[in-house]
Structure 1
Amino acid sequence: MTFDGMALEGSALEGLAYSATPHDRMPGRRGDPGWVADQLVRPDSRVIPLWRDRCLLASGGGPVTLTGPVGKAASTAAVQVALLGMDGPTAVFAADLDHPDEAEALRLCDATGAADLRTLTAALPAPVAATLAYARGLLYWNRHARFCGSCGGPTDSVDAGHVRLCVNPDCGRELFPRIEPAVIVLVESPAAEPRCLLARHRGAGPDGFSLLAGFVEIGESLEGAVRRELAEEAGVAVGKVTYRGSQGWPFPAGLMVGFVARALDERIDADGTELQEARWFTRAEILDRITAGPGSGPVDSIGGWLLRSWAGVN
């Protein structure tokens, strides 16, 4: 079966993938193991299976979601089951089929193949893509948090997959999902003609230009990260920095925070390490890249959304 019945209020960043899920995440109930178990065995509850972070596909090419006996079999075989939340009256779970080989996972879930979510997103309804990204990120974190970072002891999954608890009685640390914030920024020129800054990162092709981005460091504000990244990698100083929106990016654990910044001048000094080169592009050049050239970057990313918005085509 494929996803159905999902409704989503309009997003502030219309058209941006992974920006919202249609679920009530049930923070007040998911800590009750009995309630969670009751939801899991309901015949109408939905189970989203993933195999090693890949979506399992139905015969029509869309991602599968399971109910009834097939859903129960998948959740029983899974190394981790996590409650994503309630979609109206229906509970939605994610099941991590990490251990079976691919053929066994496909057979168990009556699926025909497996694919990376990002190859499917453009063809999926926004709530479905967001739900699959949420499932992927939560299962990935559980799989990589099986041991305590403080004492090295094993951890147990609690709170329906949203918390892990160190079982060492001398420790007992609670582990929560880790989010890695990063900033991505569209830099505008101060000149009269509208121009924006794109850079070719290390390893990119000869025309692989994109916006600048970087991870936020400890003790740093988001705006501070924008200024530091631009100065370090491109030698560009900016004045006003304006927040435009954010995007969950669970590939595996990111949060992309989008900004527009105004350069103080047009000087560029690419570092030659992270950036091979950087230059200013006119709006006409950006439109040409979008319509007939290499494009505005990945269609599912906030970077592409920022660039298309600046060019007036979102």
Structure 2
Amino acid sequence: MSSRPDLGPDLGPKPRLGYTESRIARAADLRTDAARIAALEADARAGVYVMGGEMIVLKQGAANEPLFGVTEAAALGAATETVFLGLVDGQPRFGHSLTPAAAEALKTRGDLLVTDLRSIAVQGLVAAEHLPPMAEAKAVLHWHARHRYCSNCGTLSHAVDSGWRRDCPNCKTQHFPRTDPVVIMLAIDGDNCLLGRSPRFVPGMWSCLAGFVEPGEAIEDAVRRETLEEAGIVCGRVRYFASQPWPFPMSLMIGCFAEATSREITIDATELEGARWFSRDEAADMLLRRHKDGLTAPPPVAIAHHIVRAWVEGEAGFG
């Protein structure tokens, strides 16, 4: 239900934010215990998420089961890397990466569905509880695929600690997975909010502005800088809303509201094809997919949907 009925239509129950509310206990203390990890791999309850590049492998069916047994996963193809994700109610979970070509070849099998994680999330192809560990696996396995050589001396490194570190045998440098922080923000001016359109968006969709946090930069400063750079809008107060893991490829979306102190828009055409102010009623219609011009907000799996909805329902803290 809307927190302030005077603000507009009832948007219905709040959907779950994609890739969050993980049930995984990461059990980081087990990662360095090779004997214990081997025992977990031999556990009959162990479940494996299988992926190759951008593709995820599912058992095709009414529920599209994403978990394979250890033996089942091995039968799909040799793993380029395996990562221990953690425990769900004491049951081990692993990520198993195939080469992109091997994953692509599995598309010919009638008992499997091979598709990308974004489609899985948007279309609800698996139970929501699987999305966080799938995001975890995809991000870490992507890191392995892109960081096989030591950035210090160029030597081929090798995975250790159950996939959570790479060691260089030459210069002994240790490398750890990284997450890229990204601010995603809704600039607000009273009963209007600022949304933009990237050329990459599906037709008719408008969303919050976003950009990477730069070295030495606070979240609030990144919000103000990105809004100014992309749309020419100056902002003052910034308020944190929520965060979301975003495994495309390995980001953390940091959702914020920003109080606009200017109105005139000047877009950066290299980043956006458009930016404009939307009224609260328009934004509500976009969330409900009933805007008179066919415009839409991002789907519920994305944090941008939740940011816009929170503002429509009066939860931004200002505006």
Which of 113, 133, 140 pairs up with 2:135?
A: 133
Stretches of structure 2 lacking an aligned partner (at least 5 in a row): 1-13
2:243 equivalent in structure 1: 246
- C-alpha distance 127-184 of structure 1, shift in aligned 2 (>3 A): same
1:28 equivalent in structure 2: 29
Give, in whole Å, the separation in 2 of the partners of 1:178 and 1:32. Answer: 22
1:53 equivalent in structure 2: 54
- C-alpha distance 311-125 of structure 1, shift in aligned 2 (>3 A): farther
Give, in whole Å, the separation in 2 of the partners of 1:72 and 1:257. Answer: 37
Give, in whole Å, the separation in 2 of the partners of 1:52 and 1:136. Answer: 8
Once the two structures are overlaid, the 10-residue window that deviates more, 204-213 or 145-154, is: 204-213
1:225 partner letter = A
Q: TM-score, with normalisation over the residues of structure 2? A: 0.85
Which of 212, 226, 230 pairs up with 2:227?
A: 230
- C-alpha distance 240-53 of structure 1, shift in aligned 2 (>3 A): same
1:172 partner letter = K
The 8 Å contact of residues 48 and 94 in structure 2, kept in 1 or not, is answered as yes
2:208 equivalent in structure 1: 211
Is 1:286 aligned to residue 286 of structure 2? no
Once the two structures are overlaid, the 10-residue window that deviates more, 13-22 or 255-264, is: 13-22
Task: Report the 3-state secondary structure (helix = DSSP H, G, I; strand = E; otherwise coil) of the residue aligned with 1:243.
Answer: strand
Give, in whole Å, the separation in 2 of the partners of 1:313 and 1:77. Answer: 51
The 8 Å contact of residues 51 and 114 in structure 1, kept in 2 or not, is answered as no
1:152 equivalent in structure 2: 154
The 8 Å contact of residues 255 and 303 in structure 2, kept in 1 or not, is answered as yes
1:172 equivalent in structure 2: 172
> Where do 4+ consecutive residues of structure 1 move more than 6 Å?
none
Stretches of structure 1 lacking an aligned partner (at least 5 in a row): 1-12
- How many residue pairs end up in the alignment? 295
- C-alpha distance 239-119 of structure 1, shift in aligned 2 (>3 A): same
2:117 equivalent in structure 1: 117
Alpha-carbon offset, residue 99 of structure 1: 6.3
Q: TM-score, with normalisation over the residues of structure 1? A: 0.86
Cα offsets for 1:77-101 (capped at 9, x unmatched): 2111110001122111111011663
Identity of matched residues, %: 33
Give, in whole Å, the separation in 2 of the partners of 1:144 and 1:272. Answer: 30
Once the two structures are overlaid, the 10-residue window that deviates more, 196-205 or 27-36, is: 196-205
Give, in whole Å, the separation in 2 of the partners of 1:71 and 1:213. Answer: 37
Once the two structures are overlaid, the 10-residue window that deviates more, 151-160 or 296-305, is: 296-305
Q: Tell me the C-alpha RMSD between the 2 structures.
A: 2.4
- Within a 5 Å distance, the mapping from 1:82-101 to structure 2 comes to 82-98=83-99, 101=102
Alpha-carbon offset, residue 26 of structure 1: 1.2
Alpha-carbon offset, residue 139 of structure 1: 0.9
Task: Report the 3-state secondary structure (helix = DSSP H, G, I; strand = E; otherwise coil) of the residue aligned with 1:120.
Answer: helix
1:187 partner letter = A
1:201 equivalent in structure 2: 198
Alpha-carbon offset, residue 68 of structure 1: 5.5
Alpha-carbon offset, residue 176 of structure 1: 0.6
Alpha-carbon offset, residue 280 of structure 1: 1.1
Alpha-carbon offset, residue 271 of structure 1: 2.9
